[in-house]
Structure 1
């Protein structure tokens, strides 16, 4: 954890992978804190980093970036928007610093659905050939279909269970939880999901939640957290040991 590490330790260590957790500051139904994405990121990367480090992988976890793309939520107070162009500039500066001191691999650990780093990394990889760039969206690692009853995509059973496990003091009582019902698009192509446009959040949802959290428990959150962190740690261990110039083999 670089924020908690000193220069004496850093100077003596040859790091193989740097991880930048990237979250958001936004409303999460009525009952979860605005920092939900960032709190999950911080806990997941800390635990995965610990597992990887104890396995011998020299992994550096950078401080979480707390602002994400919120262009569909500009009418909700304190949903702090960071435009993709700004994210690109932040990544450029961060990657330049890491490449300049010889860190060979960089991972963006994304915890917010409104962030999309793939096209940015395509462009940045061409400009920074000496450092391997990748992104992990934790919500794509494992949906938890065998753990949860109702899957959603924002302040749902998964996120509520994770926060009940990680920060129960920040979750309102169950009597205050919203239903997380989505409003259906009027346009048929949008409903069938072969056309896309940004969701205006206060039109698309009723309580800023997308997914019913009613079955959430801390126990389910703990089970899911362990699965996600073990899986991410395995990627970090494998990536740290790999030669970044030879990541493919003939079929």
Structure 2
């Protein structure tokens, strides 16, 4: 295995998984979607971003003495907002809820008690499901894992992710394109990316007013923001910021993990 492979559950054998699983393991679940992201990015952008965040967070946790593993990404989400663009594959909210609930319960049955959801798909209906799961699994219960969800749409975290992200006009724009340039550079159609004009649609305001799709808000090519301004260097900084969000959340929810790690190093 390579260095990164050891952080992926799927690269482990079952005896190795048995040795890892237990109440002190932090199991990180990347959650994305399969949907259009402009003419310059592939359909799996949200999967790429969530996986990059999860892997970097696992690296940082392990460096601090905390046991962590990254599960395979959830590749589908609630993607009604990209209706009308080819390539969109959506789940109903109840289906996504059931998938995540089954996943957490399956881990719980094997002794895992700490689960983190790393999400990169920002559609409100999708995020509502993740918040609901985290709320339902917020407190320790017999033979059940606790779930935390570092929600980057919350003001506390949004402020660490740059001006475009904070504006809301960031679907396949500078923010997401930068991260893909860092995590999956071969996925970016460079010629298209550099030629795209900036598109500002006041996405959040129009969604709050009742808009139901990107076409309705004026994002006629399934993107908004400024993809031409994206850079891999910014993408690496954003991945670090997303990973730090996870590490801070884990430390705040489970300080005992870090206390024990510190004790073992004395």
Q: TM-score, normalised by structure 1?
A: 0.81
Q: 5 Å matches for 1:26-37?
A: 26-37=35-46
- 3-state DSSP class of the match of 2:81? coil
Distance 2:177 2:17 in 1: 36
1:167 correspondence with 2:181:
no
Aligned residue-pair number: 238
Aligned twin of 2:171: 154
- Alignment correspondent of 2:199: 181
CA distances 1:8-65 after superposition (whole Å, capped 9, x unpaired): 2222233432221110011111101111110111122112102212322112211100
User: What residue ranges of structure 1 are gaps of 5+ in the alignment?
Assistant: 244-251
SS at match of 2:150: strand
Normalising by structure 2, what TM-score? 0.77
Structure 2 equivalent of residue 215 of structure 1: 229
Contact conserved, 1:20 with 1:109, CA < 8 A, in 2?
yes
Which residue is 2:14 aligned to?
7
Deviations 1:90-139 (A, max 9, x none): 12211211222221122211110122111243345589664222212346
Q: Note the 1:98-177 alignment, pairs <5 A.
A: 98-114=107-123, 115-116=126-127, 117-123=130-136, 125=138, 130-138=144-152, 140=154, 141-142=157-158, 143-145=160-162, 152-176=169-193, 177=195
Residues in 2 aligned to 1:215 and 1:157: alpha-carbon distance in whole angstroms: 6
Q: Does structure 2 retain, via aligned residues, the 8 Å contact 1:57–1:240? A: no
1:20 has 2:29 as partner? yes
Match for residue 249 of structure 1?
none
Q: Which has the higher contact order (CA 8 A, sep 6+)?
A: 1
Moved more, 118-127 or 63-72: 118-127
- State the match for 2:53 in structure 1: 44
Structure 2 unmatched ranges of 5 or more? 1-7, 258-266
After superposition, the C-alpha distances for 1:47-94 in whole angstroms (9 at most, x for unaligned) are 210221232211221110011111222322221001110011112211
203-212 vs 138-147, greater mean Cα deviation: 138-147
1:96 corresponds to: 105
C-alpha distance in 2, partners of 1:242/1:197? 44
Could you tell me how far apart the structure 1 residues matched to 2:229 and 2:95 are?
38
CA distance in 2 between partners of 1:219 and 1:148 (Å): 16
Would the alpha carbon gap of residues 145 and 39 (structure 1) be closer, same or farther in structure 2, given more than 3 Å must change?
closer
| Contact 1:2–1:61 (8 Å) recurs in 2 | yes
More helix by share: 2
